Each structure stands twice: as C-alpha cells, then as structure tokens.
Amino acid sequence: MTPPNPPQACISTSGWYTFTHLITKDHSNNLEVDMTITTAQGNHPLASWTLHPTCMGTQVTEGLCSSGEPLPFSAVGASFLGWFPDQEINDLAIDQIIRHPH
C-alpha cells in the first residue's frame, strides 16, 4: 500500500525558506511526522501538514510490522533517516541541514 501524497504547497516568491520535519510518536506509539514550511526568518508559516507513514519494505521483511499498517515508532530508524530527496525539484539549493536529536 502506497501512502497518499502529502498536500502540495506552491511558493511563488523567490527567496530562502525553512523546511522543518519533526519526527515523533503519536498517541498510539506510531510514527508521526509534522512538516512545516516557513520563511527563512521563521516568522511566517506558508504550509504545514502531518504524515502518518505506513509499514512497508524493510520493516515488513524484517518482521517489525505488517504491510500497510501504521508504522510503529519502534520500527523507525536507519542510516536513511533524515534523507532529503531533491531529485524531483531541479536545481533545488539546500543551504543547511540541522538535525536535533530528541
């Protein structure tokens, strides 16, 4: 089962923006990812949404959860955590990535 596409946000003014994702547990101990786009100064939110990823791929083959079910927070984590693909946005300039361990 493929998760639904998150909402799309159109940014029509050039400049620097901050894209933040906060990885937490939801009330059922499943993965929840809060996504926010703000101006670079952080004082003007442009878009925000929450993702609830489902179990798939390696999590299923390793028996951590069942395909298509909510992804348990305990099944999260690997070298790809924090992966930021930019292949879909030609010439996307990324200035800085900051990871805050919690």
User: Which residues does the chain have with pLDDT short of 70?
Assistant: 1-7, 78-90, 92-102
74 φ, ψ (degrees, to nearest 5): -65, -15
Cβ contact 53:45 at 8 Å: no
The predicted structure's pLDDT at residue 97 = 65
What is the pLDDT, as a whole number, of residue 62? 85
Give pairs for 77-84: CB < 8 Å, separation 24+: 81/23
pLDDT on residue 80: 47
Q: Which residues pair with 8 in a beta bridge?
A: none
B/e letters for 79-102, b = 16+ CB within 10 Å, e = fewer, are: eeeeeeeeeeeeeeeeeeeeeeee
- pLDDT of the residue at 26: 93
pTM for the complete prediction? 0.69
